[in-house]
Amino acid sequence: MNPTYYLRRLLRILHIAGLIRLPNYYQEKWKTKLHNGYWYFVHSFIIVFATSNILSILVYSSRDLAEVLQRLFETVSFVGYYYETVCLNIRLTKFLELLDRLDHSLCTRQPNNMLTMNKKEEKMVFVGTCTLMVSIFTAVFAEAFFLPLDETDQELIKYIYDRKYGRKLPGNFYIPGIDLSEPLYYIIFSGVFFYLTCMLLILGTVCFSQFPLFVLNVEVQSIILSRYVRMIGQIHQNEQGEMIRYTNILKDEYVVIKPDVPSTSGFSNVDGIVRFSELRTHLGYLSISYEESYARQVIKFHQRIVSLREDVSNKNLV
């Protein structure tokens, strides 16, 4: 599993929802053109109804302080989530380049299930954030459609929004000449609100989980780096206890050393005794050439992590 698996899954969800356009996602040109049209429709739909919602606050909700504060909070949250998606559309190419760098620059293989545990943590963040957003919007819909309103609340809704019936919706639109409490319009705009809520669910999940997923990726790489740093000057062994020399620490690639060490007969044959320093050189572990090669790999690994962090921080990609 690639380091950016869940980050790319977020992008695929946004793509399917029509909020972004991933390049080369479809092989057929007609599918790409169809998705481009879908993308324009989704963004036009969101912009129109977000504007209508803001006008509703200015025209209707401003008649009651509690109502205007509630609607203002909902609108600001939605616009904030949508703004993040607009920024992602603008910087999508750079963001995809960053994900490619993450996949090719970070360690993707590690013993002791270190990366497996990291992916479990990322899954918990992804699923937990989605569950939280679903719970929030389920509560909003339950409060709007299933909780009964007393006569005072119904009369207040009629007064604020100039409606014939005191029916409550999760949000409100300003559409001159249309009473949203009429049965036909009430059903239609309930469906519209459900669609917008699904969009908001996706936007909220992406906004709240995108940065933690990136942090978890960098954190586990820092832990792996510290492990390699502690191994400088040590005899390297694999899980089977065989002596090895690393050729690529990012991919956990190494060669097994099977030296032909001359036998010794203890102190009975002084000439046959192999000095410890000579044994190390013979094995090729602490030889200058290998130590330099291993240290360069560790330094290069560290530079890549620092470079990625600075790149994200400077360009505000996450």
Q: Which two tokens stand for residue 263?
A: 């036998």
How far is it, in rounded angstroms, from Cα 70 to Cα 88?
28
How far is it, in rounded angstroms, from Cα 96 to Cα 278?
51
The answer to whether residues 68 and 62 touch, using CB atoms and an 8 Å cutoff, is yes
My answer on whether 138 and 284 are in the same domain is no
Does 221 fall in a domain?
no
Q: Which two tokens stand for residue 57?
A: 């606050």
The answer to whether residues 281 and 287 touch, using CB atoms and an 8 Å cutoff, is yes
Q: Tell me what pLDDT residue 107 has.
A: 66
Q: Tell which of 183, 213, 243 closes a domain.
A: 213
My answer on whether 58 and 193 are in the same domain is yes
Q: Tell me what pLDDT residue 41 has.
A: 93
Does 148 fall in a domain?
yes
My answer on whether 38 and 143 are in the same domain is yes
Does 218 fall in a domain?
no
The residues, ordered by sequence, that sit 6+ positions from 286 with a Cβ below 8 Å of its Cβ are 233, 235, 280
Does 302 fall in a domain?
yes
My answer on whether 160 and 235 are in the same domain is no
The residues, ordered by sequence, that sit 6+ positions from 43 with a Cβ below 8 Å of its Cβ are 18, 19
Closest CA to 311 of 108, 107, 97, 104: 97
Helix 5-16 × helix 114-145 angle, to 10°: 30
Q: Tell me what pLDDT residue 113 has.
A: 64
Domain count, the chain: 2
My answer on whether 164 and 77 are in the same domain is yes
Does 38 fall in a domain?
yes
Q: Tell me what pLDDT residue 307 has.
A: 81
Q: Which two tokens stand for residue 98?
A: 């960053």
My answer on whether 169 and 240 are in the same domain is no
Q: Tell me what pLDDT residue 277 has.
A: 47
Rg of the chain over all Cα atoms, to the nearest angstrom: 30
SS3 for 170? coil
Q: Tell which of 186, 213, 240 closes a domain.
A: 213
Alpha carbons within 13 A on the beta-carbon side of 59? 13
- Rounded to 5°, the CA angle 149-150-151 comes to 120
Does 29 fall in a domain?
yes
Residue type at 92 in one-letter notation: L
Q: Tell me what pLDDT residue 262 has.
A: 46
Q: Tell me what pLDDT residue 65 has.
A: 85
My answer on whether 206 and 305 are in the same domain is no
My answer on whether 73 and 19 are in the same domain is yes
Domain span holding position 108: 5-213
Residue type at 171 in one-letter notation: G
**β-bridge mates for residue 138, sequence order:** none
My answer on whether 45 and 179 are in the same domain is yes
My answer on whether 17 and 143 are in the same domain is yes
The answer to whether residues 305 and 218 touch, using CB atoms and an 8 Å cutoff, is yes
Q: Tell which of 156, 178, 213 closes a domain.
A: 213
My answer on whether 154 and 245 are in the same domain is no
Does 69 fall in a domain?
yes
My answer on whether 197 and 95 are in the same domain is yes
Q: Tell me what pLDDT residue 314 has.
A: 62
Does 156 fall in a domain?
yes
Digitized pLDDT (tens) for each residue of the chain, 318 residues in all:
677 788 888 889 999 999 999 988 898 999 999 999 999 999 999 999 889 989 988 888 888 888 888 888 888 888 888 888 888 889 888 888 888 877 776 666 655 566 677 778 888 888 888 888 888 888 888 887 888 888 888 888 888 888 888 888 887 888 888 888 888 888 888 888 888 888 888 888 888 888 888 788 778 888 888 888 888 878 888 778 788 888 888 777 888 877 554 444 333 333 443 444 444 555 544 567 888 888 898 898 888 888 877 776 665 555
What phi-psi label fits residue 101: left (phi over 0), alpha (psi between -120 and 50 degrees) or beta?
alpha
How far is it, in rounded angstroms, from Cα 104 to Cα 279?
37
Residue type at 166 in one-letter notation: G
How far is it, in rounded angstroms, from Cα 282 to Cα 304?
33
What's the whole-model pTM score? Answer: 0.74
- Rounded to 5°, the CA angle 6-9-12 comes to 160
